[in-house]
Structure 1
Amino acid sequence: MTINLSTTTLIDKIAQDLGFTEISNLTDSILIKNKELISIATFLKNTPKFDFQMLVSITAVDYIEYFEIVYHLLSIQHNQRAILKLRCYDRESPSVPSVVTIWPGAELQEREIWDLMGIQFTQHPNMKRILLWEDFKGHPLRKDYLR
C-alpha cells in the first residue's frame, strides 16, 4: 500500500529549493499557483528524494467561483503519493500550463478536461476534442453548461 507523503515535507522542500513560499497546505494536498506548476512538477519528478515519475491522473472540479485542477502523483521508488492542486478563476477562457513535457501520459487526460470542462492547457501539442465531436458547442461538465 502506498502512503501519502507529508504535505509539510513537500512544502518545506519546495520552498527551500525553489523559493516558492505561497503554497497552501490543505488536508491531504498542496495548493500551488498556476505559474509555478511546471517548476514544481519538474522538481517533484526529477528530485531523487521524491522521484514522482508517474502521473496517475489529472481531474478538474467546477466550484462555480473557480476551477480546481488536481494532479495525483506516484513515486514507485519510494512507495509514496502526492496530490497537487491549482485553481483557475477565469470562467471565460480558463487555462493552465500543460505537463505533457514532464509526464507524457498527461496528453489524453488534458484533452479530456478541455473537452468536458473547457480548461485550455497551454503548450499542449494536440489540444482538441477527444470524446465529443468537433462541432459540439460548450463543455458539458461545467456547472454553467445549461444556462
Structure 2
Amino acid sequence: MSDEGRPHDQAPAPASEASQTNTGRPHDQAPAPASEASHVPEQIGVRKGLFGARGSGDTSGYGRLVRPVLLPGSTPRPFGGYFDEVADGLGAALAESGVGFEVAVESVVVFRGEVTFGVRREFLVPVARALRDEPDLRFEMCLGVNGVHFPQDAGRELHAVYPLLSITHNRRIRLEVAVPDGDPHIPSLYDVYPTNDWHERETYDFFGIVFDGHPSLTRIEMPDDWPGHPQRKDYPLGGIPVEYKGAEIAPPDERRGYS
C-alpha cells in the first residue's frame, strides 16, 4: 500500500516480526531491545554551551544551550540475548563461594546492544576469576583496562572499564568499577589476567587509579617525576616555550574547565 493509503499513526511492525519478514527467520544473536528501552538514564550534571567550556568566551553561538549530562541507567530483566545466561552463570558461581550476585554486582547496563556489569571493587577479583574459570562462562581474555574520568559523578569520579572476551562461546561483556577521587584504589587483576600488567600501569599513569597488588605499579609512558595524571579532565594543559626568530610563544599554563 502506498504512503497515501496508509494512516500516518499506524504503528510499524515489531522488530522481530520485521526480521522474520525480511530474512525468513529472527536474528537469534541480537539482544532483545525491550529492556534496553525501559531503563532510566542517570543524570550526573548539566552541560552549558556547545562544548561545555567555561572560563573563556564561547564563540560557537550556542552559549545559552543547556543539556543534561547522562549516564545509562540500570537495565531490568530480561537483558536479552546471551546476557541473561552470563548473569545467571555468574550468579551461580558467586553463590558457591558464599557471595550473592546483588552484593557483588551493583548494576547491569544494556546499552547499544552491549552489556556492562558494574562491580563493587572489593568483589572485582572473585567476579573476574569466576568469569574466567566457569565452563559456562569462560571469558579467557581481558583486553585491558580503560580509565574514564567523570568529574560530575560525585563519589564515583574515576571509572575502570574491563572488556572481556570469551573465545569458547564467542561472547563479549564489560566490567566496570567506579571509585571516588579521594580513594582511587582498585584491586589489580594481574593474578587473574597477567596481560593486564601494562594496561594497569598505563591507567595509573594517565588517570591516577591505584591498582593494589600490582607487582610493579610505576609510570609507563610519562617520566617518573611527572606531576599529575594527564588524561584527567581537570589536568592543566602545559607545553614548552618555542622561539620564532626572536619572538617567543609561551606555553599555555591552564586548560579550560569542562562541566
Question: TM-score with structure 1 length normalisation?
Answer: 0.90
**Counterpart amino acid of 2:136?**
K
Amino acid at match of 2:101: F
Shift of 1:79: 1.0
Gaps of 5+ in 2: 1-28, 32-80, 95-99, 237-253, 255-259
Identity %: 31
**Are the aligned partners of 1:38 and 1:97 in contact in 2 as well (CA < 8 Å)?**
yes
Give the RMSD, CA atoms, in angstroms.
Answer: 1.9
Structure 1 position 106 matched with structure 2 position 196: yes
Alignment of 1:19-34 (within 5 A): 19-22=100-103, 23=105, 24-27=107-110, 28-34=115-121
Q: 2:149 aligns with which of 54, 62, 67?
A: 62
Matched, 1:14 2:14: no
Q: Specify the code of the residue in structure 2 equivalent to 1:97.
A: P
The SS at the match of 2:231 is coil
Instruction: Tell me, in whole angstroms, the C-alpha distance in 1 between the residues paired with 2:212 and 2:30.
Output: 32
Which whole-Å CA distance do the structure 1 matches of 2:135 and 2:93 have between them? 13
Q: 2:167 aligns with which of 65, 76, 82?
A: 76
- What count of residue pairs does the alignment treat as equivalent? 145
Superposed CA deviations along residues 85-134 of structure 1, whole A, max 9, x for unmatched, are 11112x13411000000001000000000000000000000000000001
- Cα distance, 1:74 vs structure 2: 0.7
Letter in 2 for 1:29: T
Q: Which moved more, 1:56-65 or 1:5-14?
A: 5-14
Name the larger-Rg structure. 2
**Distance in 2 between the 1:12 and 1:21 partners?**
12
Where structure 1 has 5 or more consecutive residues not aligned to the other structure, the ranges are: none
The counterpart of 1:97, out of the listed 143, 167, 187, is 187
* 1:3, distance to aligned residue in structure 2 (A): 8.3
Superposed displacement of residue 57, structure 1 = 2.3
Q: What is the TM-score when the length of structure 2 is the normalising length?
A: 0.53
1:112-131 correspondence runs (5 A): 112-131=202-221
Distance 1:100 1:46 in 2: 15
